[in-house]
Amino acid sequence: MSQSAREKAIERLREIGREIYLLSHVNALLGWDQETYMPRAAVEERAEQLSVLEGMIHDRITSEELGELLELLGAEAGNPGGSSDLLPVDRALVRHVYRHYTRQTRIPGDLVRAIARQVGVSQQVWAEARKASDFSRFRPELETMMELTTRKAEALGYKQHPYDALVDEFEPEMTTARLTDLFDSLGDRLSSLLDRISAVPQVENDFLFRTFPEDRQRAFSRSVISELGYCFDRGRLDQSTHPFTTSLGADDVRITNRYLENFFNAGIFGSIHEAGHGLYELGFGEEIRGNLLADGTSLGIHESQSRFWENMVGRSRSFWEYYLPRARSHFPGVIDDIDLERWYRGINRVEPSLIRVEADEVTYSLHIVLRFRLETALLSGDLQVGDLPEAWREQSSSLLGVVPESDADGVLQDIHWSMGAVGYFPTYALGNLYAAQFRSALLRDYPGLDSMIASGDFKPVLKWLRQKIHRHGSALTPGELCRQVTGGGLSADFFIDYLEDKYGEIYRLNAD
């Protein structure tokens, strides 16, 4: 193949990719509107709109022309990046497109449109069922969604478990077997730490349940994430039933959050969490800006960014050394009697709870193990949708020692199943592992990290993340990125060591 023909082929590949990129952002805009401002009566037509757009995107990613271009560029199963003569960034694009092309060509277009249509309806029904705390309202929609999801897994194909086909969409190269081994080991180590914490006096946190006016929470959250680097010229902070981040363009990355007037943690840490996702999306390098590589390489890596900012920065003592005086001024008279040490220990209280998004760092991953077990059982046929509420209660009791009294606090608390996002949940726990491993590398470069944070200087941290992680987008796989940044493959050891150090001090586990 001549150089001229190769250049024309890669240019055409970029053009098609750009169309897909733009259509996906239009699709995301409709989804964002549905979750924030859309009137209830619009749900049926919105479902049709989403279905049409998903069909258009699927048609482009599975087009005969795209397949011919990939063949011309030398992409194949053993060499997904194509010709070695291509520039590295172009080889990365070819590999990325080849992965999506091979996956999507296995899924019939009518199934893609059916799933998109069902998502449009299911999300609205889920929101209403959650508000009423009545799983029976959502059950028919979830049964339909699981039927469609099972068809999708069968169409994609798998070697061992149907869940493999689904989790690979969110975390490339991950398998059910690997997750099972990882989560069994992680669960044991977390349970051991939790047992030791439970055996010592509990820290006080009642002051977090005082009255924090919602408007003041919004203002405080906005000021904090702005100083972390989230730019409101390129984004928004709105409210939704379930916090989320969505990209509507290279310079339009929006986040949402929810606030509880009688629980401080939900608002501020939810905002920081979503801002971490937003900072990743806003940090893609110029060489990939506006094309299909301008996307997170996996949801585990994406979650590492939100969990890093939320917990490893936002729940650190140094962070509140800077922000506690500011918080007192935002909430006059509410927390004036709380000193830094009581505040730091209180916001990091470890206590098994019902709600995943409000869970502490030690127990959070156990919430993910619960969902992972239910999802794999649903896909294998060992669990029926109608039995989910009781199965949820049993797993919650076994893993966390708490049992939800209502569907809203149990099986209905997450939006993911209404989105058809089966296989998504494991990436939250993987994000914790990546975050701790990245943090270890950051500390090697910035041993004075705590002092910088205590002074309110977050620019070096964001710059490091941009250079090491954000700018690459999907040009590197999760495994490649982890090895390049940290020097080794993903390991749970960094996360466990981080928790042991932090909570060993907070709960004085090693005191004589």
C-alpha–C-alpha distance, residues 26 and 12, integer Å: 21
Q: The sheet that has 252-257: what strands, in order across it?
A: 237-239, 252-257, 245-249
DSSP type of residue 476: S
Closest CA to 299 of 161, 169, 152, 183: 169
Could you give the dihedral angle defined by the CA atoms of residues 365, 367, 373 and 378, in that order, rounded to the nearest 10 degrees?
A: -140
- Secondary structure of 216-281 in the HEC alphabet? HHHHHHHHHHHHHCCCCCCCCEEECCCCCEEEEECCEEEEEECCECCEHHHHHHHHHHHHHHHHHH
Contact status, residue 389 vs residue 135, Cβ threshold 8 Å:
yes
Neighbour count for residue 338 (Cβ, 10 Å): 18
Tell me the catalytic residues: 274
Q: How deeply is 336 buried, as exposed, middle or buried, from its count of CB atoms within 10 A (0-12, 13-18, 19+)?
A: exposed
DSSP 8-state class, residue 480: H
Q: Tokens at residue 85, please?
A: 């003569």
Q: Report the 3 state secondary structure along 142-210.
A: HHHHHHHHHHHHHHHCCCCCHHHHHHHHHCCCCCHHHHHHHHHHHHHHHHHHHHHHHCCCCCCCHHHHC
